[in-house]
Structure 1
Amino acid sequence: MSHIALYRTWRPQAFQEIVGQKHIVQTLQNSLREGRFTHAYLFNGPRGTGKTSAAKILAKAVNCLNGPAEEPCNECANCKRITEGAVMDVVEIDAASNRGVEEIRDIRDKVKYAPTEVRHKVYIIDEVHMLTTEAFNALLKTLEEPPAHVMFILATTEPHKLPATIISRCQRFDFRRVSLEEQVERLHQVCREEQIEADDDAVRYIARLSDGGMRDALSLLDQIMAFSGKHVTYADVVSITGGMASEQFEKLVRAVKERDVSAVLQLVDGFMQEGKSADKCMENLLYYFRDLLMVKMVPGSLAVTERIIDIKPFAEVAEAFTTQELISMMDTLNYYQTEMKYSMQPQTLLEVALMKLCSSSGVIGRNSAEVNAAGTERASDGLVAQLTGRIQKLEEQLAQLMKNGVAPAGGNAGGGGAGSGSAARGSSSAPVAIKKIEKLDAYLLGRDDPDFKAALQRWSQVLGRVKEQKITIHAWLVDGEPVSLHDGALLVAFKSSMHRETTEKPANKQLIEQVMSDVLGKPLRLITVMLRDWKAATEQAKPAESQVEELKLVQEDEPGAPKEEWIHEAIQMFGEDLVKIKED
């Protein structure tokens, strides 16, 4: 007979064989003993924790010829045939490949018929979150009130994707990750039964790599047994899984502490020569620093003792660093690990990250008071330089205004009196304001455009689509807000100049314009402006508007103003061609 994978050979066939889910096993057994099992269950939790196995065991328990009982006998014809998958009334459906409404309608039509071979029809729908919305709607009523002979068991790793209406109709059971000790005990049992000699540290390392999934642990053990034969060692596990022993990390971290860049690069090159991948090295290195931090801060914690076999070497390495150093180094490594996902040269990023740790260790190693003092001094110098630059810029702007004949607010220009200052402001400030508004006057009028109002209503959809395509561009674009639309161009005002400049980059701008065209249904160009400039333009436009309104509201028979004076002012303002004088 051909070899059967360990995770299939050792799949639980009774509730007592399920590892690490005592809270669920006890609840189901009590309900079976009292005959209070329900028509719909939802099993959710991480992969490889026993959801589908528990569903099959429950199907056997309710249909066992010696039951319903707390445990299926696994001896009767019903139990054996359900285990083999040969009972037509116990149906296991993969929702990932049968996610459409037609498949669910087929179930809905068949549930009304009584079972032919066993007491209860059982439908096990695996990865149920993959069903479409229409399929969920078709399942809803049947799930709520199925016939008395039908039971539904839904299994999923992502319960948050299920509609609340589905969840509310089921008894929900949350499967948890299997603890390290429970996994180690189960793996030792498997090794004994398979007549394999396995070192304890090797078994513990397998359990750590499985991340709480019993199925993953058995698959790894199966792979390592094929490599090692009858004796599984820690070195074999490290070699076959592409990991690195803690001793290698210890050498690497000590080289970083000593700022020995040459030794660091040689170690990285050695890892690559051994066939290790750069992203796996980065992941394991982060775990190593995490363990160092845990040993330093909470040495007696269960989180430490579960992950670390021998704490003494970790404690010695952790002693060479401060807590802040370890946190800072983890931040750096985490940043470069994220960048690796989008890089064509992950090894280079790994080397750069380690060289950065080497170059920064000198700063980290100094006395904390010196570091704080130096940081404060640099911050003060930077603030002074920034304020000095702003004052200089304001002085230049003031000198330019004075040159154009504009008096400062509240003062006199050229030593003249109040009247002369007012006259100067009246005659000289107007051209400056008009010059500034001329660039945005068309957009000021476009604020009431119906197309702009429609674009404003759908701006959140534009942001959402940009986020789906490239989240970094969304981070810049969200700082801006649409303020006007004119001649096929959407004007977006930004609070930050840095966000505006990044958005204006050709590649980023092209993506945004494409998204705007798709969402708004018409080709649009992106024009940007600083929000403070836009507000200044709108403020400058207000006086002109108020003057026009004021002229319209002047009444002809207002006392105190000669009629000839009104006529003269009207001609001066609008021209002789536009003024028509009518006698009363």
Structure 2
Amino acid sequence: MEHIALYRAWRPQSFQDMVGQQHIIQTLQNAIREQRISHAYLFSGPRGTGKTSAAKILAKAVNCERGPSTEPCNECEACLRITSGAVMDVQEIDAASNRGVEEIRDLREKVKYAPTEVRHKVYIIDEVHMLTTEAFNALLKTLEEPPPHVMFILATTEPHRLPATIISRCQRFDFRRVSLEEQTERLAMICKEEEITAELEALQYIARLSDGGMRDALSILDQVSSFTGGQVTYSQTLDMTGGLPAEQFGKLAQFLLQGEVGEVLQTVEQFMQEGKSADKSMENLLYYFRDLLLIKMVPNAEHMTDRVLDPSSFKGMAEAFSREQLFYIIDTLNRYQSEMKYAAQPQTLFEVALLKLCSLPKGAGEPASEAGGGAAVSSSELTAMKRQIAELEQKLEKALKNGGIAAANPNSAAPARSNRPSAPRSSGVAKIPPHMDQYIAEKDSAEFTEISRKWSQILQRVKEVKVTVHAWFVDGEPVSVLNDAILVAFKNNIHRETTEKPANKQVIESVLEQMVGRPLRLVTMLQKDWLAAIEGSSDLKKEEEFTLEMEQVDGKKEPWIDEALELFGEKLVIIKE
């Protein structure tokens, strides 16, 4: 006898067979009982939740020879023929392959004729969102005012793609994902009827993988039972589906907490040897730490996720991490997961992300009270900081003695002059590049002007080479060119630091060489420091010009002053600063 796939063999044939959609079933049964059946229904929801099955059951219920009744008998000729698809008055149309206006016009012509085999003509249009705009327009009038013997049932997984005019003409029912408990119970019942021996943990894991779709769960069960010869175990299910047990993630989390770099790398290598993909492992690990955070912060959180099969094991691990650590871990993994989409070697990024978490000091991310307050700073770091402060004090004292920094004397008639450095003070976040005065001098050079004109093309080329680098680099703006270096000022320090990473910097310098025609080094700084540098240079220049002018006035070296003295005499000429 030919094998029939489980999801086909166990497709619901009556409302009572449906799983997890009680709110819809009850409404439809009440409408049939009270003879308030609508002319058009819209069934929307995720795949495998029973939309098309409910449509066919409804078609049988309104056309059953013993009805209309709240449940089709599935014994009369009408019910049996509708189930087998042999009734011409009940048509299931695939909108994905019949999406044009001509098909809908043909349907509109056939709607006019009365049914010949059953009471009501029923048109079930599956994946209705695939219809073209013209097809929707052709359907509008018929959908609003069909003949009394016609019923339309539209099914879709993407209701947002339907025109509002179509939705407003239908009674809408939203199918929800089937819960873990309901799916597990249904799978256990099917296993019993099919004489399949299955562990409860395996059925729970299958239900978890299906993401709320009953059809997907039955397909996975069918596949695993074929592989195991009807003996479905948890370990074999993991092997077949490429999943990872929570115990392995628990061990990995423990290694991260203890900073065991070797064990972490060995665990990742084991995942890869077992055929697990790096991106799927990263996704599962993110879910694992998300569940740890939920269990740590929310009482009875095991009911908020379908992934927690053993809450006791999760609670023990959740207590080992602080909330701040879990937040940091999730943030780091999420950032690296987004980069893995564009990476040629995703496994390397997965390993780097885990190694970064291993290198965290114990208690990183905790508040001072948890981490021990001032004890978080090691004695060696404290000694180094004291030594740096002492060196700075010595340099300052030496500069004062040499007259490098002169204090203003309020009793002195002459204006105090200070030998300002041309470079501004550092912001404390980003270092100031050397030769700032030369960069400022070259900011209006012809070479820099030429590069500025090409900057939009340079950014576009960086985007074509690597879009993630462009996302950070676009925050920067070129401000000067000096010899073999281009200076780029950034508004945000995080963008500047990420751009400075060797891999990202190499991409940018390679593009610069292509676009400019010669090698250029990338030098970065913050935009606010660049503006402060320009302002400081301008102030110094004004001060020097003013001092020179005063010296010339005091020495009577200006020719126009000498001329005024000769014309009017010393008594009539007053020289003001």
TM-score range, shorter chain: 0.5 to 0.7
Large movers: runs of 4+ above 3 Å: 304-307, 365-376, 435-439, 466-480, 494-502, 504-509
User: How far 1:373 sits from its partner (Å)?
Assistant: 7.6
Quick check: 2:339–2:468 contact (8 Å CA) kept in 1?
no
Find the counterpart in structure 2 of residue 279 from structure 1. Answer: 279
* Partner in structure 2 of residue 44 of structure 1: 44
Distance 1:508 1:151, change over 3 A: farther
The residue matched to 2:31 in structure 1 has which SS? helix
Q: How many Å apart are 1:469 and its aligned residue?
A: 13
Question: How far did residue 436 of structure 1 move?
Answer: 11
**Aligned residue number for residue 190 of structure 2:** 190
Match of 1:99 in 2: 99
- Which one has a larger percent helix, Structure 1 or Structure 2? 1
Write the distance in 2 (CA, Å) between the matches of 1:470 and 1:129. Answer: 35
TM-score normalised by length of structure 1: 0.66
- Alignment partner, residue 252 of structure 1: 252
Partner amino acid, structure 1, of 2:281 = C
**Equivalent residue number for residue 411 of structure 2:** none
Shift of residue 277, structure 1, vs aligned partner: 1.4
Aligned residues: CA RMSD: 4.5
Distance 1:229-1:292 versus aligned 2 partners, 3 A rule: same
**1:53 equivalenced with 2:42 (yes/no):** no
In 1, Cα distance between equivalents of 2:136 and 2:153? 14
* Contact 2:291 2:305 (C-alpha < 8 Å) held by counterparts: no
Unaligned runs of 5+ in 1: 382-411, 415-434, 440-465, 481-493, 510-529, 534-584
Q: Which residue of 1 aligns with 2:350?
A: 350
Task: Check the 8 A contact 1:257/1:361 in 2, yes or no.
Answer: no
Question: Which moves more between the two structures, 129-138 or 23-32?
Answer: 129-138
Give the distance between the partners of 1:330 and 1:355, measured in 2 at CA. Answer: 14
Matched residues in 1 for 2:115 and 2:509: separation? 65
Q: Measure the CA separation in 2 of the matches of 1:477 and 1:138.
A: 50
Against the structure 1 CA distance between its residues 255 and 91, is the aligned structure 2 distance closer, same or farther, given a 3 Å change threshold? same
- The aligned counterpart of 2:29 is 29
Correspondence for 1:230: 230
Q: Paired residues, what number?
A: 448
**Per-residue deviation, 1:355:** 0.7
Determine the structure 1 residue equivalent to 2:326: 326
Task: Label 1:169 to 1:479 Cα distance change in 2 as closer, same or farther (>3 A).
Answer: farther
Q: Distance in 2 between matches of 1:358 and 1:306?
A: 28
Match of residue 15 from structure 2: 15
- Structure-2 separation of matches of 1:372 and 1:303: 36
Q: 1:473 to 1:153 in 2, by over 3 A?
A: farther
**Partner Cα distance (1:106, 1:178) in 2:** 37
Q: Conserved in 2, the CA contact under 8 Å of 1:473 and 1:508?
A: no
Cα gap change, 1:375 to 1:51, in 2 (>3 Å): farther
- What does residue 73 of structure 1 align with? 73
- 1:252–1:476 distance in 2 versus 1, CA, 3 Å: closer
Structure 2 counterpart of 1:187, which letter? L
Q: 1:300 to 1:108 in 2, by over 3 A?
A: same
Shift in CA distance, 476/99, structure 1 to aligned 2, threshold 3 Å: farther
1:201 matched to 2:194: no
Contact 1:42 1:154 survives alignment (8 Å):
yes
Equivalent pair of 1:295/1:304 in contact (CA under 8 Å):
no
The CA deviation string for residues 322-372 of structure 1, in whole angstroms up to 9 with x for no partner, is 011112101111122222222221211111111111012546176635699
Give the TM-score, by structure 2 length.
0.67
Alpha-carbon distance in 1 for matches of 2:89, 2:115 = 6
Give the conservation status (yes or no) of the 8 Å contact 2:324–2:365.
no
For the residue of structure 2 that corresponds to 1:11, the secondary structure is: coil
Shift in Å at residue 499 of structure 1?
8.5
Match of 1:152 in 2: 152
Distance 1:136 1:290 in 2: 43
* Contact 2:61 2:72 (C-alpha < 8 Å) held by counterparts: yes
Whichever residue aligns with residue 331 of structure 1, its letter is: D
How far apart are residue 164 of structure 1 and its match?
0.7
Q: How far apart are the structure 1 equivalents of 2:70 and 2:302?
A: 34
- Could you tell me whether the CA contact under 8 Å between 1:46 and 1:213 is conserved in 2? yes
How far apart are residue 287 of structure 1 and its match? 1.8
Shift of 1:230: 2.7
1:116 equivalent to 2:116? Answer yes
Range with greater deviation from structure 2 (10-19 or 292-301): 292-301
Q: CA separation in 1, counterparts of 2:510 and 2:91?
A: 52
Q: CA deviation at 1:479?
A: 7.9
Contact 1:242 1:280 in 2 (8 A): no
